[in-house]
Structure 1
């Protein structure tokens, strides 16, 4: 059996040594590179997919938590409206016969409850309160109304609607629907939260509350490129209901899916990778999808580069074999000697073996150099890809931080409201608004009236800390109110008056801020009746006044000035004057 095989192999072996060398060089160089490319491709593919899944699972969890804060605010608003004695009295006074309905006073009371308890109403589309006869009063945009149920015929249809029957069976719980229950079109840009209002004393139904939210709230949670998308799905629907989709074209890819799992399978068949996260408040699925070909394009490049590299090495081997046949004996003897040295364990001697500048020597040196460079190139490539993914992750996390801070302050506010701690609630509102004004959407200038609002929030926080010791008076001419000035120009002066003037003083104190426009110059003065200072040199040591003085000179030029007048036990007066840029340009 073995003998015929040896005979067949011997006959297939080329007779010419040049062809043997050619085949040997190609077989020794190309297959290892192909194997290396295949392994590198699969490793990079698996690493990229795993990192994508891990990163987006974390991002989806963070986005769900951000949405939960907003949705829990809506749940709290349901309960605050029901807990309001006046609103509940209006609903209880309405009879089932329709003789009396909700009027303008009820609408005003609803508006007062909403405005006094919500910090951020950007995502509220409308709030509609229905009595037992389904007459409604609404708060929201100028055209906020009961939609298709605003007419007498529409009111009669509410009791038979599926969403109302489902709300009745919820026993007072707040329900979230994937569509706006008050609109005829399910594709509107809002969705609803519904609660049947019941009398706490006898648990009788006294009304209905519908809060409609803008679906655009989900768009702030994730940023996607043209090859990926973010969706919110309601798994309870059949076919699956899409609550929100940043790319409407993605919805068409699973429009006929009977359920959530069927939708996932449809996306997978079309070459998409999916990862989902279940939202705790609504039970909806936050889904991120990305085109697999786009995600794995780097791995594909590695595979193609390796294939081209293997082809290049094969070409080199072919060319070298053409020149090695004429002087093959001596290089082969050198190779034999090197192998003998290796077999005797004399590896260092073998490494010092010198090759002549012939074909065999060129093949050996070239292959050794290329292998070393290939290892180094692979290491640099993997390191570069890891750095790129880390930079992308840091960028995504940085986009969520401001939302996290705002929503954290919002949560502190609601916790204080529920705990009936008005001081903490007021401080949380003041700090949130102060932070928004300080950021000012990245702009360097701010209207005077917003700077004054910033000072008012600051004084609110200080008076909460010091039990109302400080009184703040602002007397600014009306023509200055809309003037754009450098932000944080006046607030540090008031802060300096508190810490260096009024805080060391025993008893109450007053800070007075005046502003006027004289001969094209804006003049602002901050005075306090505090302990004062022995010399003006004490004002040079602080960071606040020095910072204001430098920014004033840099922005408004040498015509600007900051003047300090102070004396022990007589208080301190700080005056800044400058020529506003918009007046100067005009």
Structure 2
């Protein structure tokens, strides 16, 4: 529905444009769509090509890096497996009984040190080597300037076999397990760990654990860095088996958290391009990442050049078409402006037109408008004067002084003779005529109009023996507002004669009035017989006269509405402006 409304607004707006503007806009839109389509297609094609070439190139680079990494890892694994053939190591790890101590004896430590030094001396990437038997004894050899006190202090109070890594290593039954961080507690060092559950090759019995911490420099040296001129080109290592945990990243890597979220969620990869290979030895993923915006830089240059060239051509063609159309449509534009002025209420047109065909039409239009506007003003003034004259004629038909004196005489005679009913009727009739005639004034206060209704109903109740009830609910704040005379009483009279009089029994009329923003609202409601056809109400002379007077004095926006139904009574709602009559 909203799309339909939007389309309708666009269609109406388009229809309101001049022929010249429609031609220019059509040319502009078609040209812009063509240039935009050409620019965007060239951009996306070149962008896709660059990304695919980049991925292929760096997948090859990552495969070479994987070979270097596997070679270093396999070297450490081979040396570690050679420990198992050491009779000294087998004896220390298998024969020591659980004695409440968490360290090996001095002689046993010498054996373990020789084995650990054999590994660390051959592999310069090894930071430390730790041996742990199944009886709770520990030994660590650090190959860097880091003490081992915290390590011994921690495991003197904790059983390493309760650590999560121990259970995972034990389940592999002798196979090396790679961890992306330092798994031993009490060791403050960066790098990654290789852990192995040692099994005696001779007896097949488990001997304990060995944990090797390897420097992250090994991973850094494994990558064949080929930035190829890209500033955001970086390498990372991710542990696939442990929730894509980040194992390694270069020190220059920025937005690490954002990159990892994008790597794990394809919906967030619009900013980055990833290339990756899987390493079977470590079960790790070697990944290259680069910002997509940097790859698309050349594509953007191509797109921008095409768009710039197209905009230049579009601008030149637009200016050329504008100059030609301007000369053709100038008289038509001039005529359109004159029509707009007339629509805005311009009363006298002074525009001068040229001698072209459109100019001659404009000249005739100007003469016609000036003549018609003058005639309309005269006609409106004459109609208003005619209606006012009719009202004044009705009022002047009664000699007010003669009428007032006569009614006052009747009132006095009735008082002298003690006939209160005739006295009340004479007084009510006198007040009613005074309020109706209003000294010949066009406007009266709301309070006077309300009093006129009261006097009228008093007369009718004398005539109909108090058969009718009147309820007034008019806000005090509007009593001093001024409205047209003889506006409310005709509706009360209509309610009485056509609603209540045909009704059997008593009847009630309710008159309400209040202020609603800049309007005065009055309602006249009766509980009479009602009517099925509301249009009958508008055919009466008095009601029709009221409607025309409201329109003439207040405008077409004001008037009255009616609601009725057979046996349900009638409700009239009158709407008048607040400020029109003044105070």
Q: TM-score interval w.r.t. the shorter chain?
A: 0.3 to 0.5
TM-score by length of 2: 0.45
Asked which structure has the greater CA Rg, the reply is 2
